[in-house]
Amino acid sequence: MNNLDDVHFPVRVKNCAIDLARHGVGALAELFDLTAPRAVRYARALTRNAHDAEDAMQAAMVRVALHPRVLGEAWHPWAYFLRIVRNEALKIVQRRRGDRLVALVTEAWSEDSLDESDSRQFVRQALRKLPSSQAEVVVLKIWEGMTFAEIGEVLGESPNTAASRYRYALQKLSQYLQPLADEVSHEERSFAP
């Protein structure tokens, strides 16, 4: 986790969920503002497309709006909400199977790559090579700072399954990213006094 806000994020989501349960859909905007960037980032790891990720997030918000008390009653509201986002993202992916799936994977994350550094693009490409079941665990663990228990709740799997997927993903990523590591190591040696 990068800062104090990340540490308190699940608590903030819990508070929004409680407000939503008490006040109904009028409190939905606060939940949306808090969770949208992270939920869309997670959905994008599943759908491999920015627009589909946003659609998954919006569909998840509709589901929460239809049953506002459920999120407040969840043991881990943030993990529960991400599970809803996951389910919606997977529905979108299933609808787009076939010929369009290849096109979606090819264009994945390319919309914002024009102004990114080469190393960031390289990391995104490596993440894109992973099976989506492994990529989603990496996003949840590294970018969301979730525990394997929370990830397991999001996926509907055991924490051990989440940990295994993470371990396999890291093994593959280390292979995919070896050229970048070699380049960084070479640059460090070049600048050494």
Length of the chain: 193
Structure token digits, residue 49: 């497309």
Per-residue pLDDT of the chain (193 residues; tens, 9 = 90+): 455 567 789 999 999 999 999 988 888 999 999 999 999 999 999 998 899 999 999 999 999 998 989 999 999 999 999 999 999 999 888 777 543 433 333 343 344 444 455 666 777 788 888 998 998 898 888 878 888 999 999 999 999 999 999 888 888 887 877 776 666 555 545 554 5
| 182/184 Cα distance (integer angstroms) | 6
∠89-85-122 over CA atoms, to 5°?
65
pLDDT at position 181, please?
61
Backbone angles phi, psi at 15, to 5 degrees: -65, -40
Structure token digits, residue 176: 């995919």
Contact 151, 78 (CB under 8 A): no
Structure token digits, residue 124: 């995104």
Question: What's the whole-model pTM score?
Answer: 0.60
Long-range contacts: 153-161, Cβ < 8 Å, 24+? 153/75, 153/76, 153/79, 153/80, 153/83, 154/79, 154/80, 154/82, 154/83, 154/86, 155/83, 155/86, 156/83
Q: Which residue type occupies 87?
A: N
Q: Which helix (H) or strand (E) holds 38?
A: helix 28-47
Q: Quickly count: other Cβ atoms within 10 Å of residue 16's Cβ.
A: 24
Pick from 30, 124, 48, 47: which is nearest to 86 by CA?
47
Q: Which residue type occupies 116?
A: E
pLDDT at position 36, please?
95
Give the ranges where 139-177 is alpha helix by DSSP (H). 148-155, 159-176
